[in-house]
Amino acid sequence: MIDFNADHALEIPDELRKRIGMPRESVDVNAQVEAGIAAVQIPRQIEFVADLAAGLPSITCTALDLVVENLLLNAIKAMHDKPGVLSVRTWLDERLPREPFIVVTVKDTGIGMSKDELGRLFEPRQAGHRGGGLGFGMRWVRGWVRRAHGLIGVESEPGSGTTVTIRFQIHAHQTDRLPQGGEPA
């Protein structure tokens, strides 16, 4: 059993190292988002909505699945076994036709964060971090998004919930033959 666990423990940094280098391969955004969703067990009392726009261009990112997985785990933790709505959406923002973005949002109706907590969200292991996690998740999430030249924004309201929005700029020519995108209603 010790051997088995030691082997398993040694695989973890290997797996992570693969995700640390600069991303090279182009990945299907929705396939990555779906893999992130599949990695998480969503409690029965939570209404889960996945609204993924078809035909999005691929992007270069090593760990979008882990990004989504981490955000979902945080959202579920913030929802405290209470009923609520958890949604994941992807869409193409073409409001500026020459500056199109792929947008990924994870939105929860959990306890939210105060301004102070929000300000410390990316700092690992701050006092005030709730729950049993190590407190490194959001720092990793931001690292993965930045290495893929993406931007991450977080809006939160204590008592009503949190929305994390990730944007990846793409080239205008990548959207030439795609169906019309837009912000979901």
Binding mask 161-180 for ligand ADP (x = CB under 6 A): -x------------------
| Shortest reach from residue 100's CB to ligand ADP, in Å | 27
Of 5-13, 37-45, 73-81, 158-166, the window that binds Mg ion (rule: CB under 5 A) is 73-81
β partners of residue 168: 102, 150
Looking at residues 73 to 92 of the shown chain, list those that interact with ligand ADP (rule: CB under 6 A).
74-75, 78
Place of tokens 């009392």: 45
β partners of residue 116: none
| Shortest reach from residue 98's CB to ligand ADP, in Å | 33
Q: In b/e form, how buried is each residue of 9-32, taking b as 16+ CB within 10 angstroms?
A: eeeeeeeeeebeeebeeebebbeb
Residue-level length of the chain: 185
Token representation of residue 13: 């940094």
**Distance between first and last Cα of the chain:** 52
The entry of Mg ion, ligand ADP, none that residue 129 binds, CB within 5 to 8 Å by partner kind: ligand ADP
Residues that bind ligand ADP (rule: CB under 6 A) add up to a total of 20
For CA atoms 72, 158, 140, 80, give the dihedral sign. Answer: negative
Q: Which phi and psi angles does 147 have, rounded to 5°? A: -65, -25
The entry of Mg ion, ligand ADP, none that residue 131 binds, CB within 5 to 8 Å by partner kind: ligand ADP
Q: Which residues 6+ apart lie within 8 Å of 3 measured at CB?
A: none
Looking at this protein, which amino acid is placed at residue 68? V
Of 22-30, 43-51, 71-79, 91-99, the window that binds ligand ADP (rule: CB under 6 A) is 71-79
Asked if residue 121 binds ligand ADP (CB under 6 A), the reply is: yes
- Compare residues 53 and 78 and give the one whose CB is closer to ligand ADP: 78
Asked if residue 137 binds ligand ADP (CB under 6 A), the reply is: yes
Which residues make up the interface to Mg ion (CB under 5 A)?
74, 133, 137
Which residues make up the interface to ligand ADP (CB under 6 A)?
70, 74-75, 78, 108, 110-113, 121, 129-131, 133-138, 162
